[in-house]
């Protein structure tokens, strides 16, 4: 199984509006497993969707993959205690100095019934937040917030809009799109 690690640094915000830097971790309960290079080349050459099918089959058979959900946290006042910038996405927070605290779990316990609405429209985006999580000044995160949202607006919302149009409306939209693209050239 694969380990999940949040490259970006977010902030946790409590009811007193106190901010704490946070990095998120997903650690597989079955441990981390991978293929050696030669195995990967052989399997991917035979079936490029091997891992996707393996995951789908495991879930169908009731062998649900599970991860422990953990966080690393640093108070704002601790940010300067390191010889690196904690907001630098190329740096890993050393676990011996900032231990991972496991606070929950993630279990994949069903496969999707309809791919588009349950997978494509999920629209994973760094700027989709829940209460209590906020942005930090992480420069990579700031760039992703802009570009991912822009992508989601174009990919998902336009797709929903087009899917709800009648065929006559789609023809008009196709003509409009052609005219707009020609104008940009």
Bridge partners (DSSP) listed for residue 134? 11
Considering the domain delimited by 4-30+65-138, tell me its CATH architecture.
Beta Barrel (2.40)
- Cite the DSSP H helix spans in the chain: 37-46, 50-60, 115-118, 139-152, 158-163, 167-184
Tokens of 177: 């799109």
Q: Give yes or no for a contact between 64 and 108, defined as CB atoms under 8 angstroms apart.
A: yes
Please say if the pLDDT value at position 17 is more than 90. Answer: yes
Residue extents of the structural domains in the chain: 4-30+65-138
**pLDDT class of 10 with cuts at 50, 70, 90:** very high
pLDDT tens for each residue of 45-81? 899 999 889 999 999 999 999 999 999 999 999 999 9
Q: Give the pTM.
A: 0.77
Quote the DSSP letter at residue 76: G
* CA distance linking residue 20 with residue 56, whole number of Å: 37
């Amino acid at each position: 199984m694969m380990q999940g690690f949040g490259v970006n640094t977010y902030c946790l915000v409590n009811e007193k509006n106190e901010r704490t830097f946070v990095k998120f971790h997903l650690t597989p309960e079955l441990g981390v497993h991978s293929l050696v290079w030669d195995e990967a080349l052989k399997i991917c050459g035979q079936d490029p969707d091997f891992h996707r099918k393996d995951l789908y089959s495991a879930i169908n058979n009731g062998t649900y993959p599970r991860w422990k959900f953990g966080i690393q946290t640093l108070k704002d006042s601790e940010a300067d205690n390191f010889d690196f910038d904690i907001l630098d996405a190329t740096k890993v927070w050393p676990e011996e100095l900032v231990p991972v605290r496991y606070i929950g779990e993630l279990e994949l316990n069903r496969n999707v019934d309809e791919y588009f609405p349950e997978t494509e429209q999920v629209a994973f985006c760094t700027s989709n937040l829940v209460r209590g999580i906020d942005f930090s000044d992480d420069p990579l995160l700031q760039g992703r917030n802009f570009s991912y949202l822009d992508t989601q607006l174009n990919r998902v919302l336009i797709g929903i809009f087009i899917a709800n149009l009648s065929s006559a409306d789609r023809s008009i939209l196709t003509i409009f799109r052609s005219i707009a693209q020609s104008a940009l050239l």
